[in-house]
Structure formats: C-alpha cells, structure tokens
C-alpha cells in the first residue's frame, strides 16, 4: 500500500527508454557491445579525439530527438498527476521523463540536449536539431573554446549539487522504485543502500527484465518489460489508495 502521503523516489536507467527505441549500454544489444566506452565516454577520449566523440553524440542526438516517451515514462507522470510526491533520479540523458510530463527530475549523468564550454563552463542548448553535426566541433559563443556534451563521463564526478539533492531526497523517501538499471554504475548503484541505511522501513521495488546486483537488497524484483510492469503497478497503486 503506497498511501497518497508517501514520498516516492525513482532511480531510472536506460532500460526505461528501451521501448522508446533508445539502446541500453550493457547486455547483448547494448551500446558497449558495439562501441568502446574508453574511446567515447571518458574525458580522456574527448581530449584525444573530440571529432570521434562528437560524431558518436551527433548520432545519438539524432536518434534520441526522434523518440517519444513510452508507457513506463507516462506511468510515472500519471502517479504525479494523481497527487503523489514523486522525484525521479535519472541516469538517462534523454529528457524523456520531462517530455512525458514529470516535473521533479534530477539528472545524475547530465542531459544530451545541452552542451558545456570546456573553458568558461557556460551551458547552452542546441539551438535546433538541424544543427546536430554542424560544425563537427561546436564552439562557445562567449569565448570561442570547444563545446562538449553536457553529460557525465566515466572518471568524472557528478554535479555535487545534484548528488546532495539526491541524498536529501533518499533520506526522506518512503518508497524507492528502481527502474531499468543494471545497478553497475556508481555512485547511482549505491543510492539504494544509502536510502536503506537511513530508513530501515523503506520499501524498495525493482523493475527489470532480469535480476541485478541490487536484487538482494530490494523487497521485490518485478521481472518483465517495464513498459508493461510499471503501468500495471501504477494502476494498482492508484486503485488501492
């Protein structure tokens, strides 16, 4: 029973966007099967070959800009609309939670539709999708230095403000839903443990196609495609409240 007074926190990963047509990172069809993350998703890779890294991001920007939220993103929006206090801590860079209508979303790994200046750190949006790919390395309108995708790569620290906000939320949450993540990437993989340490009555449900390292911690793992299991779960929560 998740009463209307309960605070719900969601940790989402790439599995929630799979049904929208965005590939996950790991697993047999995952991006890391085809691409080497050391060549594409580290600050060292960008220093070594910014063209290659931007080329990969242009491909993903093109792909992601064509996608729409799926039934799983919409289910979380429905829960918010129905009056629940729900905050989403997402590892995804695709903005599909906001595009579905969820209003409280913290981006742990940044946002693909934003760029950041490598020198003055100015953040800007892509003016329009027509510009993905032109020029190959975009430059800052303020200081003319190279721009990079405003995402968090391996070996980079997450924005401390977002991490602190996430910790505060995890401390006060009553229900934690872990949705479509392998639970392998830190610090997000640690969040469920932190939340449980703070509140031993915390209920944690995991939604995934398969068990993960987090499955031994959670109260229930609901196996299946999250675009089916999450809407079913949300309907039940709303009906029973």
Catalytic residues: 109
Q: Which does 19 bind (CB under 5 to 8 A by kind): Zn ion, ligand BJW, none?
A: ligand BJW
Q: Which does 131 bind (CB under 5 to 8 A by kind): ligand BJW, Zn ion, none?
A: none
Q: Which residues bind ligand BJW (CB under 6 A)?
A: 13-15, 18-19, 24-27, 30, 41, 91, 93, 109, 151-157, 180-182, 184-187, 207-210, 212, 225-227
Residue 91 CA to residue 86 CA, distance in Å, equals: 16
Q: Does 142 bind Zn ion (CB under 5 A)?
A: yes
Residue 164 CA to residue 191 CA, distance in Å, equals: 11
Choice between 140 and 226, CB closer to Zn ion: 140
- Partners of 125 in the beta sheet? 114
Q: Which stretch binds Zn ion (CB under 5 A): 26-34, 115-123, 177-185, 233-241?
A: 115-123
Q: Compute the Cα dihedral for 156, 96, 7, 204 and give only its sign.
A: negative
Q: Which does 120 bind (CB under 5 to 8 A by kind): Zn ion, ligand BJW, none?
A: Zn ion
Residue 165 CA to residue 163 CA, distance in Å, equals: 5
Spatial CA neighbour of 114 closest among 66, 149, 69, 70? 149
Alpha carbon 95 to chain centroid, angstroms: 8
Give the binding site for Zn ion (CB under 5 A): 117, 119-120, 122, 140, 142-143, 145
């Amino acid at each position: 029973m998740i009463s209307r007074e309960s605070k719900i926190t969601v940790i989402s990963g790439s599995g929630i966007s799979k049904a929208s047509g965005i590939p996950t990172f790991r697993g047999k069809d995952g991006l890391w099967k085809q691409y080497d993350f050391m060549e594409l998703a580290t600050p060292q890779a960008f220093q070594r070959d910014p063209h290659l890294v931007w080329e990969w991001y242009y491909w993903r920007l093109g792909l992601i800009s064509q996608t729409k939220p799926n039934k799983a993103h919409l289910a979380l929006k429905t829960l918010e609309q129905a009056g629940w206090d729900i905050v989403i801590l997402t590892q995804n860079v695709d903005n599909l939670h906001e595009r579905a209508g969820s209003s409280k979303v913290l981006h742990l790994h940044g946002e693909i539709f934003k760029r950041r200046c490598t020198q003055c750190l100015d953040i800007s949006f892509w003016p329009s999708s027509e510009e993905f790919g032109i020029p190959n390395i975009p430059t800052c309108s303020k200081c003319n230095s190279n721009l990079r995708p405003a995402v968090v790569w391996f070996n980079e620290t997450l924005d401390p403000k977002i991490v602190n906000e996430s910790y505060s939320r995890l401390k006060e949450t009553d229900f934690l839903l872990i949705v479509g993540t392998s639970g392998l990437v830190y610090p997000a993989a640690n969040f469920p443990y932190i939340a449980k340490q703070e509140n031993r009555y915390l209920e944690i449900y995991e939604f995934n196609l398969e068990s993960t390292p987090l499955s031994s911690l959670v109260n229930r793992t609901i196996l299946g495609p999250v675009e089916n299991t999450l809407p079913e779960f949300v309907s039940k929560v709303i009906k029973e409240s």
